[in-house]
Amino acid sequence: MLIGHARFGDGQGWSHLDYVIRCDGDWFTQSADVTGTFRDQPVALRLLRNGDNWALNDVPQPAVEGAVDIDLGFTPATNLMPLRRLCEVGRMQARAAWLCEPEGALRPLNQAYTRERGGLVRYEAEQTEFQTELKVADDGFVALYPGFWERQVMT
């Protein structure tokens, strides 16, 4: 189970989102809950995976059929699941059900992860043509997502 909180603002308002993601023993997403506010609007989402099928608040999401991961667009924490399945050296592809913004439907996101030296993982997202190098900490979480997020360790 992955539990987290995201607090952020943009030009359209403030967001305070809490999430719980449930995975099986192989780190494949089974369900996720997202609650809070997004740009000052209430959010209460329940995402369920049943085999190859997904539902968002009980509404089927056929566009993401076959996805094995959830990708919450507002946090790099959801990269943890595919990173846990990625071998020590090599490349892996995974289809994600992408919640780009908590006010919309799930969208497909075909992702590729290539583990490189020094805790670096090359990340590619097919539908958006986005590519970057993620710095991954020893615990498997993203430590640096260039241009978007950097892990802060509090002592």
Quick: pLDDT tens for 55-71.
999 999 999 999 999 99
Question: For the chain, what is the mean pLDDT?
Answer: 93
CB-CB contact of 108 with 135 (8 Å): no
At residue 151, what is the residue type?
R
CB-CB contact of 27 with 81 (8 Å): yes
pLDDT of 155 strictly over 80: no
pLDDT of 98 strictly over 90: yes
Rg of the chain (C-alpha set): 15
pLDDT of residue 138: 87
pTM: 0.90
Q: pLDDT band for position 54 (50/70/90)?
A: very high
Q: Which two tokens stand for residue 36?
A: 């809070």
